[in-house]
Amino acid sequence: MGKDGFREFVKKNPNLVDYVINNKMTWQQFYEIYDLYGEDNSIWNNFKNKDNNIGNTSLKDILSIFKGIDLKTVQKTLTSLSKAIDVFKDVNNSEEVNNYEERPKYKYFED
């Protein structure tokens, strides 16, 4: 029961990855269970057959996410970003206007 055996076990049971991604378990915890109990223990039934609702996002869940968003604040932020982008475009696209006329050498003011 080494690391290679554990890797093969995880390949056979890809739903274990979902527990790690959702921070419900760590690979260390899974490995310790694997090392103590082996592959065939009934403790794995909790993880193999359990539906952890990944990928089952409903319209209600999506709407609850958008429910907390203040659209006026989003609009103000987008307007501010648009103005900032326009300013950066103007700075990058502007040509330097040189209104400076070089004076002849050895001339003083108002000569």
Domain assignments of the chain as residue spans, ordered by start: 1-71
pLDDT band at 1 (very low <50, low <70, confident <90, very high): low
Mind listing the pLDDT tens digit for each residue in 34-59?
888 888 888 888 787 655 444 555 67
Contact 34, 6 (CB under 8 A): yes
